[in-house]
Amino acid sequence: MPVEGLVAIGAGLAVGLAGIGSGIAEKDIGAAAVGAIAEDRSFFGQGLIFTVIPETIVIFGLVIAILLMFL
């Protein structure tokens, strides 16, 4: 198997596993945020920020994949 193929597999794993981990984290955070907003609407901004934070993990995975593919 050529080295380029292994790099592509590594890049795919970086993005895929980061996405799965982010989805699992966001599921629990989103449920808690909806519950908090249902009780007190002032938690909307804080809940929105906490829901967006796991998405940064996927961006890091994408950056690693891009670095693997082009370096």
Q: What are phi and psi of 53, to 5 degrees?
A: -55, -45
Q: In this predicted model, what pLDDT tens digit does every residue of 24-64 receive, in sequence order?
A: 999 999 999 999 999 999 999 999 999 999 889 999 999 99
Say what the pLDDT of residue 1 is: 65
Say what the pLDDT of residue 7 is: 92
Domain 1-70 classification at class level: mainly alpha
Say what the pLDDT of residue 3 is: 87
Say what the pLDDT of residue 15 is: 93
Say what the pLDDT of residue 2 is: 82
Distances (CA, A) of 32 to 2, 19, 54, 66, 70: 46, 20, 14, 33, 39
